[in-house]
Amino acid sequence: MSELYDVTIIGGGTTGLYTAFYSGMREMKTKVIEYQPDLGGKVSFFYPEKKIYDVGGFLGVLGDDLVADVKEQALSVQPTFVMGQKVGAIDKQEDGTFVLTSLTGEKHFSKTVVVASGLGTYDMRPLDVEGSHLYEGKHIHYTIQNLMQYTGQKAVVISENRVGVDWALALEDVASAVHLVNRGSEFKAVYENDVEKLKQSGVHVHMEAQVEQLEGTGVELAGVVLTNGEYIQTDHLLVYEGLQIDKSLYDQWGLATEKGRIPVGTDMATSIEGVFVAGDAAIFPSKTMLIASGFNEAMAAVNSAKSFIDPKAKSQVYSTVIYKHLE
């Protein structure tokens, strides 16, 4: 951990992964620190089985496939990955380098930093039902990753959000039965065409209901009891009841913020010299919250980091140079 890196990227989502790739192309020693146990960020959590249309060159690409491709791209330049760590402090040293300290005390040393952690670190809200901890991981899930594990299985999705609707519609193609339980009287932040798809699907929708009790052995889940007394046999529960988001880290790191995000110019430089930002964490005039935008910002941030380390370096590298390097 005492090794000094040229660039340390905070965040292992699609923007962070592409930042790592481009940093490698600029021949900088690169480390990625990710809070979650897996790479992929919000795309892996929320859109693994949903098509994404804002990335050039793809007429719609599944979230899981996009993450796999960007991860493979990043791995080609051999960055160092550190998983399951949350950066609690970024301290600039007298020599201009940085020490990043995780909440568990690990220290990471870097010449520059790129923040690619989106709107902050987040955890899924856990299912608040007695005994749920007994089934988490095997029968209770907070993401729909690895869709094929539900083939021929009975699934219950618990959500009042568009994410839950997406999950239920995706599961319908592989599961033997799908139920969607919504505590409210309508779905939140959902598109009209998705509501229509839901009506035309074979998903069993339960409105104004909640899971009150889990039925099973404590090892194997058999079913759930709803607040209206209805019993549903199920093998798996998929839960999306919102996020617990920590946006305060940017302030703790000493960065200037604006409504929980980091204001930057076209060079993606933050208020701390040597710290740059890319992706949803950044805010500037005409900012778009698209995955493709994060890739462009990643290149700008890395080019700025390269110039910060070596003012005589080229301001950017071109695609033909990158491809030659890969060959």
161: which DSSP letter?
B
DSSP 35-57: SSSSSBHHHHHH-TTSEE--STT
CA-CA distances (angstroms) from residue 214 to 34, 157, 205? Answer: 33, 14, 19
Specify the domain boundaries for CATH 3.50.50.60 within the chain: 4-122+244-326, 126-241
Query: Is 247 annotated as ligand-binding?
Result: no
The whole-number pLDDT of residue 322 equals 54
148: which DSSP letter?
G
Q: Looking at the DSSP assignment, which residues form a beta bridge with residue 187? A: none
| Helix H or strand E segment including 124 | strand 121-124
Residue 200 has pLDDT above 70, yes or no: yes
The whole-number pLDDT of residue 317 equals 79
Answer whether 144's CB lies under 8 Å from 171's CB.
yes
Q: What share of the chain in percent tops pLDDT 90?
A: 70
Per-residue pLDDT of 98-148, as tens digits, reads 999 999 999 999 999 999 998 877 778 889 999 999 999 899 998 887 888
- Three-class SS state of 195: helix
Query: Is 101 annotated as ligand-binding?
Result: no
The whole-number pLDDT of residue 325 equals 52
Per-residue pLDDT of 18-75, as tens digits, reads 999 999 999 999 999 999 888 888 887 777 777 888 888 888 888 889 999 999 999 9
Question: How much is the mean pLDDT over the chain?
Answer: 91
Query: Is 312 annotated as ligand-binding?
Result: no
The whole-number pLDDT of residue 320 equals 55
Query: Is 280 annotated as ligand-binding?
Result: yes
The whole-number pLDDT of residue 212 equals 96
176: which DSSP letter?
S
pLDDT level of residue 327 (50, 70, 90 thresholds): low
Query: Is 267 annotated as ligand-binding?
Result: no
The whole-number pLDDT of residue 40 equals 85
Query: Is 270 annotated as ligand-binding?
Result: no
Helices (H), the chain: 14-25, 41-46, 63-75, 162-171, 192-200, 249-252, 291-309, 319-326
- The hierarchical CATH code for the domain 4-122+244-326 is 3.50.50.60
pLDDT level of residue 315 (50, 70, 90 thresholds): confident
Look up the CATH architecture of domain 126-241. 3-Layer(bba) Sandwich (3.50)
Instruction: Please list, in sequence order, all residues whose beta carbon lies within 8 angstroms of the beta carbon of residue 211, skipping any fewer than 6 positions away.
Output: 127, 129, 156, 158, 181, 224, 225, 226, 227, 237
The whole-number pLDDT of residue 249 equals 86
What's the rounded mean pLDDT across residues 296-314? Answer: 96
Answer whether 34's CB lies under 8 Å from 81's CB.
yes
The whole-number pLDDT of residue 1 equals 56
Query: Is 240 annotated as ligand-binding?
Result: no
- Extract the tokens encoding 110: 């870097």
Per-residue pLDDT of 216-263, as tens digits, reads 999 999 999 999 999 999 999 999 987 777 767 899 999 999 988 999
Instruction: Please list, in sequence order, all residues whose beta carbon lies within 8 angstroms of the beta carbon of residue 264, skipping any fewer than 6 positions away.
Output: 270, 276, 277, 282, 283, 284
